[in-house]
Structure 1
Amino acid sequence: MNTRRSMFPWIAALIAALLPLALPVQAAEQDRLIPRKDIFGNPTRTLPAISPDGRNIAYIAPRDGVLNVFVAPRDDVGAAKPVTADKKRGIRGFFWAQNSKQLIYTQDEGGDENWRVHVVDIAMAQDTVISPAGKVQGQVVATSVTRPDEILIRINDRDPQNHDVYRHNLKTGEQTLLFKNEDGYVDFVADDSLALRVAAKQTPGGGLEVFKRDPAGKMTSLARISPEDALTTRFVGFDVAGTTLYALDSRGRDKAALVTIDVDTGAPKVLAESAKADVSDTLAHPATGKVQAVRIDYLRDEWQVIDPAIKGDIEFLDANARGQWAVTSRSQDDMRWTVQVDRVTEPVAFWLYDRGAKQFTKLFTARPNLEGAPLSPMYPVEIKARD
């Protein structure tokens, strides 16, 4: 009897010792720490954008440890070549010129916020700064589908408090003063002909007053935006025809909606809205500028279709992305889109969507070191308050 009783503690101890060895290997994998550099370091490749002519894809990747821009043929991203050679802070964003021959980005010096506008010739890998050096801030105001070799930029070299607007020719480098800002305008909206149509001033209380500009250059007050609405009301821009001005507008509403603004009266007309959340983003046709869908970010991103022409594309991406997605660029013929996909338990990846063939092809993963890593799933929740 005593012998049998004495066996139980030994059996319990043996089970306790062997139990960790019996745990699945997967548990150990889930418990391993992910190196911080894999999460917070530079991505391997990110932010692809297809050229307007659909031939090339540009993206950001490290070059000698510093983020730069690379360009590759659309169907062979592995053949990418660097077109910039920054050696300091790195390039964090860019966009294609409408001529498909150049890329444009802005960069400051050591965080001084004196942004300089760079134009990169992709054939020559030649980077040219088109705004002045020193304590001068340059920004891009507009590009044009119908004038692909021209852009508008704003520069505060004459007066540090006010940006003047210039028309810049991307072929010749010629720069022409379009608007001398002597009245404190802080924002501008141009149409596709690169005519300034709308401008805004800050009001003493922190809001904005919006003005329309006629062909003769006369400014007339169009609308006022209160401080309460200033962060949730903004212009999206004109369509290419110049007849429709889009805006995200929260004035007189609980949530921002997509509206069109009558440029004669300033009256808004609602195109899309949600009872749950603000309209946070838009998807516009690359050749016409017409807004085709809006994004509502409630518990998850939801796309509300305005133009039935892309209803099937939205449904295709909803079904095939298997995660939250966002279109990062579209070719001008609108046959190919680059798409960012976040599947939560996988690193962010970028895909090429061929609308005609209905093909969804993976371009690359932003952080391949995180593939197979134990990324925890996250779920949005809605909790009803007692009051």
Structure 2
Amino acid sequence: MSLFMRAYITFSILITLLFLGISCSNNKTERIPIESFFSTPEKTSFKISPDGNYIAYIGLDNHCKNIFLLNLNNQDSSKQLTYQNDMNVNSFVWGDNEEIIFSIEQTSNDSLRLYAVNIYTDALQPLIKPMKAKFRWVQPARLYDNGIIVAINDRDSSTFDLHKLFIDGRRSEMILQNSGNINSWYLSQDGQVRLVMANDSVEESMMYRADNEQPFHQVLKNDFSSTIIPMGFVKNSTTNIYALSNIGRDKLSLVEYDLEQKKEVYEVFNNKEVDLDWGGYSSYTNEMLYASYTLSKKKRFFFNDKIAGIFKKISEKAKGSEFDIIDSDSSFNKIIIRTYTDTNPGAIYYFDCQDNELHKLTDNNPNLKDRELSQTESVKYQARDGKIITGFITYPLHEDRKNLPVVVMPHDGPNQREVWGFDHEAQFLANRGYVVFQMNYRGSVGFGKEFWSAGFKEWGGKIQDDITDGVKWLIREGIADKDRIAIVGKGFGGYSALHAACFNSDMYACAVSYSGYTNLFTYFRDIPPYVKPYLQKYYQIIGNPIRESSMFKQISPVFHSNRVKIPVLIAQGGKDRLSSVTDANQFVQKLKNNNIPVQYILKEEEGRTFKKDENVIQYYQELEKFLDKYIGK
């Protein structure tokens, strides 16, 4: 071989190695700062005035949440509307085109305070004296004869009565005292309370009256596994409603129901695979604009060609992003939307039918804008009894999809559901190099009442089997490194992590519980007063701690700490009313006594979900170090 040829080959090899080196360095995933995933949005709760001229939202001023106002016709006259300097605006509604009704609080256990503010004069009107109580908006939440109707539990902490609060200085009135088990109220277009739902925890009742002067009479009654969810009255009717119902069927379908005749008129729309979602009803026009349902992604069926055309234009402008409707004006000419994909947290916009353009209001998370993030893919697997379980996998970037460390993340609830979209926690973990596995175990909602009820009294049973079977599927598929699997969850997901640590230590390398239930006896004992009307229902779904005490002891992690063989991280809020600090302390101490590596993050001032930014960031910092130590590379 000539000297020239040897030099040429050597040069070619060097160039190839240099190119490969550059390619490898480019493919290395950059660790995005934790703060970028979990920073608190500066602007939230965007709502548009009925006439479409203004958008109000909650923003920060001197570290306190206040209401700000955007004038869509004259941006220069936009302004801050409230000036709380030691309280936070918690929620608000548009009473009409001029008045905004809002609540303020310092902490979740603070006294109830409700105010009205005029957007033109900035005049502030207290609607009640501060009181130790909780409240709920009653829909449609707007002013009727200068008064707004809300539900307050000041008379009895376990029940809510209806009060009318006036913005013109008149004293508030109790307009409907709760008989003891009414849990929701529905107003017709004229502001009369014609429809209520009652629940004695075992049976659900729908009750109707012709007007406010008449007594309520029962329209129907069914057990808690079947339900009807009113959406609103039919246009030009005070007797017929649109509702989601699974009475006589497995899936929630859209129906029209006649309250006087006490019967379903007809089924408007259904989907054979999943329940229909809430939404698509206009309380301004009393019409169904569309029905929606979620398979792997959200789908809609339109009842109105104009609305279908508007959604088509929005979809074109969103350029491939999914979007949800947040609010609209009374004529559906200006619509506030939230865009997102699985890899992009998206933004909040309003769409104007006059110019057919999307106008950005804020990015959902500007820190993650233009970052390269991981795609989320839908999966299915078969549980040991043949039931099909759906879920999602988020893979880390630039990794061969084989033999990877996995974080198993069961959702809270269990009566919740995983859906496709942007998940900050899953993206954070995938960015750290982990496969994230989320599943809809039996007992999850959205798949019909048979699938939901299949989870009854299966805490510690078939629900946990569904999670285990999913992990075994990941191992069989070659996705998971069987020696580097962690289970991480919050609430029921945290309970699932602790249960796995007790009864399935051979499958997992470590477990993380955030506000997880350690003792189901105290879960029932410490239940808040306003939840007690549902107690019998919980007995049916979870079990009765008195009659089924042996089962409760068998499935409560606190009684099985001696079986834990893997490291555990526990995060707990001192004011969590559903997960006892005493039980968490006891569980941690038992693990320490058994020489099991355990890390305990206790924030005395926090509740079930950490609110303070510094506490949220600390939790994820500790989670990152914990996972790096036990399943990291």
Please report the TM-score for the alignment, with normalisation by the length of structure 1.
0.84
1:142–1:194 CA contact under 8 A, matched in 2: no
Matched, 1:339 2:337: yes
Structure 1 residue 61: Cα displacement: 2.3
Residues of 2 paired with 1:136 and 1:297: CA distance? 36
User: CA offsets per residue over residues 54-103 of structure 1, 9 Å max, x none?
Assistant: 11111222222333321111156686432233456744543222x22122
User: CA offsets per residue over residues 179-229 of structure 1, 9 Å max, x none?
Assistant: 233454222212121111112222252x31121123332121111132113
With over 3 angstroms needed to count, the CA separation of the structure-2 counterparts of 1:118 and 1:256, relative to structure 1, is farther
Q: Which runs of 5 or more structure 1 residues have no equivalent in the other structure? A: none
With over 3 angstroms needed to count, the CA separation of the structure-2 counterparts of 1:285 and 1:147, relative to structure 1, is same
Residues of 2 paired with 1:225 and 1:86: CA distance? 46
With over 3 angstroms needed to count, the CA separation of the structure-2 counterparts of 1:357 and 1:229, relative to structure 1, is same
Spell out the pairing of 1:190-201 with structure 2 (5 A cutoff): 190-201=187-198
Which residue of 2 is the match for residue 355 of structure 1? 353
Which residue of 1 is the match for residue 233 of structure 2? 238
After TM superposition, the structure 1 stretch with the greater mean CA deviation from structure 2, 266-275 or 138-147, is 138-147
Which residue of 1 is the match for residue 109 of structure 2? 112
Spell out the pairing of 1:305-324 with structure 2 (5 A cutoff): 305-321=302-318, 322-324=320-322
What amino acid is the match of 1:37? Answer: E
Structure 1 residue 296: Cα displacement: 0.4
With over 3 angstroms needed to count, the CA separation of the structure-2 counterparts of 1:265 and 1:341, relative to structure 1, is same
Structure 1 residue 250: Cα displacement: 1.6
User: CA offsets per residue over residues 267-325 of structure 1, 9 Å max, x none?
Assistant: 22321211121111222335312111011011101111122331211222333322211
Which residue of 1 is the match for residue 208 of structure 2? 212
With over 3 angstroms needed to count, the CA separation of the structure-2 counterparts of 1:303 and 1:115, relative to structure 1, is farther
Residue 245 (structure 2) aligned to one of 246, 249, 257: 249
Matched, 1:260 2:256: yes
What amino acid is the match of 1:84? Answer: T
User: CA offsets per residue over residues 347-380 of structure 1, 9 Å max, x none?
Assistant: 3211221224322333321222221122222233
With over 3 angstroms needed to count, the CA separation of the structure-2 counterparts of 1:82 and 1:303, relative to structure 1, is same
Spell out the pairing of 1:1-387 with structure 2 (5 A cutoff): 18=18, 21-23=21-23, 27=27, 31-74=29-72, 80-87=78-85, 90-91=88-89, 93-97=91-95, 99-108=96-105, 110-112=107-109, 115-143=112-140, 147=144, 149-205=146-202, 207-215=203-211, 216-230=213-227, 233-239=228-234, 241-243=236-238, 244-268=240-264, 269-285=266-282, 287-321=284-318, 322-382=320-380
Structure 1 residue 237: Cα displacement: 2.0
Residues of 2 paired with 1:357 and 1:112: CA distance? 45
1:350–1:364 CA contact under 8 A, matched in 2: yes
1:247–1:261 CA contact under 8 A, matched in 2: yes
With over 3 angstroms needed to count, the CA separation of the structure-2 counterparts of 1:36 and 1:83, relative to structure 1, is farther
Residues of 1 paired with 2:75 and 2:47: CA distance? 12
Which structure has greater strand proportion? 1
Which structure has greater helix proportion? 2
Secondary structure of 1:316's aligned partner:
helix
Q: Which runs of 5 or more structure 2 residues have no equivalent in the other structure? A: 388-633
Structure 1 residue 256: Cα displacement: 0.5
Please report the TM-score for the alignment, with normalisation by the length of structure 2.
0.53
With over 3 angstroms needed to count, the CA separation of the structure-2 counterparts of 1:110 and 1:290, relative to structure 1, is same
What amino acid is the match of 1:241? Answer: N
Residues of 1 paired with 2:378 and 2:64: CA distance? 35
After TM superposition, the structure 1 stretch with the greater mean CA deviation from structure 2, 331-340 or 84-93, is 84-93
What amino acid is the match of 2:336? Answer: T
With over 3 angstroms needed to count, the CA separation of the structure-2 counterparts of 1:125 and 1:381, relative to structure 1, is farther
Residues of 2 paired with 1:128 and 1:272: CA distance? 44
What amino acid is the match of 1:263? Answer: L
User: CA offsets per residue over residues 20-39 of structure 1, 9 Å max, x none?
Assistant: 752377535xx222222222
Secondary structure of 2:279's aligned partner:
strand
Q: How much is the aligned-residue C-alpha RMSD, in angstroms?
A: 3.4
| Length, aligned pairs only | 379
